[in-house]
């Protein structure tokens, strides 16, 4: 491996004799501040002194330099490197310096989905204005498409949660942290993650060991440690748990006291039904039904893939979703009439006029029938 710790490009200085190139001993990536940390690594905001841009640098922690962890870290780099998609943060560089291994990613400015939900829950007027229900649904659609792409390339994320989703200033949605990704190949499954240790897990932090993922957002099969059964449908479960929080602003499970209770609830506790979601949390009914199906404990009863989930969400946005209850039925009729008006405005005006005349005629006819009968009774 080639070790490169310094900047390569010289600095240009204008003088009376013309442009002079000044070579300076500068680090390639100068740390500005820490952005966050996980079980194995930490992410820093750095200045790339060669390209003069901000980047995110992910490093292994000093006490996490053992071969198993380095192999896990290398696998994350190679995974993300294979996934060229607008919804997946790209890798710019990889290196080794006196602090150990690191890789360089695009720095995504903005908020995590976790922060957005927290501000919406607090009724922050700026966030309430910016992140309407329609905007949040569109953001979720972007997230689904990123996961769909990863699945098409044979990768399952296994740690989809609001803290791992960035929302950029222009509404772009980027899925981060592929450290627990699992490759699903045509000839079986190859789990790239070992059972290494790490800090004590929490309900909202990544858990390494028998159950791989974040307890509050993992699927039941992940909670049971059934790694051979963890496939694309596990990501679908996590996506719908995120969708529930994004629209309902609360987690789908009732509050629990400890990690064991969270894991048991993920395996056994049925989430609130679609009708209750609609009435209690004001989640639009068409999306409540999508979430309800995605949170089925049995993988065979969920949406079959992220692609199927994305299609259902898009159909609901366009008013083409299936009728599941009176609420979705009314929306379906309304959506059909709205699309008809958009496509045939003149004909819609004629039909509306005919319906109005018909209604007026019906009222007049009823009056003419009722009034004589009333007069006759009065006599």
pLDDT of residue 68: 83
Number of domains in the chain: 3
**What range defines the domain where residue 178 resides?**
114-334
Within 8 A by CB and 6+ apart from 120, the residues are 127, 128, 131, 249
pLDDT of residue 55: 95
Indicate whether 323 belongs to any domain: yes
- Quick one: tokens of 356? 């109005």
The full length of the chain comes to: 379
**Residue 364 and residue 289 share a domain:** no
Which domain-ending residue is among 57, 82, 106?
106
Indicate whether 35 belongs to any domain: yes
Q: SS in 3 state form for 8-57?
A: CCCEEEEECCEEEEECCCCECEEEEEEEEECCCEEEEEEEECCCCEEEEE
Indicate whether 208 belongs to any domain: yes
SS3 state of residue 138: helix
Indicate whether 228 belongs to any domain: yes
CATH of the domain at 246: 1.10.510.10
Cβ contact 171:325 at 8 Å: no
Instruction: For residues 54 and 107, give the distance between their C-alpha atoms in angstroms, rounded to a whole number.
Output: 6
Indicate whether 339 belongs to any domain: no
Catalytic residue numbers, as ranges:
159
Taking the model in full, what pTM does it have?
0.77
Cβ contact 226:124 at 8 Å: no
Cβ contact 274:230 at 8 Å: no
In which residue ranges of the chain is pLDDT below 70?
A: 1-5, 7-8, 10, 185-211, 321-379
**Residue 257 and residue 212 share a domain:** yes
């Amino acid at each position: 491996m080639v070790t490169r710790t310094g900047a390569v490009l010289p600095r240009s200085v204008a003088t009376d004799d013309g442009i002079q190139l000044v070579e300076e001993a500068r680090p390639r990536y100068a740390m500005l501040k820490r952005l966050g940390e996980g079980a194995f690594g930490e992410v820093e905001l750095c200045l790339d002194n060669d390209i003069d841009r901000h980047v995110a640098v992910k490093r292994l922690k000093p006490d996490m330099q053992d071969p198993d962890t380095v192999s896990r870290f290398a696998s994350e780099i190679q995974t993300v490197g294979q996934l060229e998609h607008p919804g997946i943060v790209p890798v710019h560089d990889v290196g080794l310096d006196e602090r150990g291994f690191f890789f360089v990613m695009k720095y995504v400015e903005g908020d995590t989905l976790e922060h957005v939900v927290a501000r919406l829950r607090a009724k922050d007027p700026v966030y309430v204005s910016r992140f309407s229900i329609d905007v949040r649904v569109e953001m979720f659609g972007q997230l689904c498409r990123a996961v769909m792409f990863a699945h098409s390339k044979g990768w399952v994320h296994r740690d989809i949660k609001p803290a791992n989703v960035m929302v950029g200033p222009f509404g772009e949605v980027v899925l981060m942290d592929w450290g627990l990704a699992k490759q699903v190949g045509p000839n079986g499954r190859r789990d790239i993650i070992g059972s290494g240790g790490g800090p004590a897990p929490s309900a909202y932090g990544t858990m390494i060991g028998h159950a791989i993922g974040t307890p509050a957002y993992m699927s039941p099969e992940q909670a049971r440690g059934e790694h051979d059964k963890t496939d694309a449908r596990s990501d679908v479960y996590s996506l719908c748990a995120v969708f529930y929080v994004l629209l309902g602003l609360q987690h789908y499970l009732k509050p629990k006291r400890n990690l064991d209770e969270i894991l048991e609830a993920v395996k056994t506790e049925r989430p609130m039904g679609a009708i209750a979601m609609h009435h209690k949390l004001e989640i639009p009914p068409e999306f409540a039904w999508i979430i309800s199906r995605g949170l089925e404990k049995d993988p065979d009863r969920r949406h079959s893939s992220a692609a199927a989930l994305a299609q259902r969400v898009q159909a609901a946005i366009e008013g083409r979703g299936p009728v599941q209850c009176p609420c979705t039925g009314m929306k379906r009729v309304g959506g059909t009439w709205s699309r008809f008006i958009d496509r045939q405005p003149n004909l819609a005006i004629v039909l509306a006029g005919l319906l109005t005349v018909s209604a007026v005629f019906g009222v007049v006819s009823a009056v003419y029938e009722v009034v004589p009968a009333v007069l006759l009774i009065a006599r």
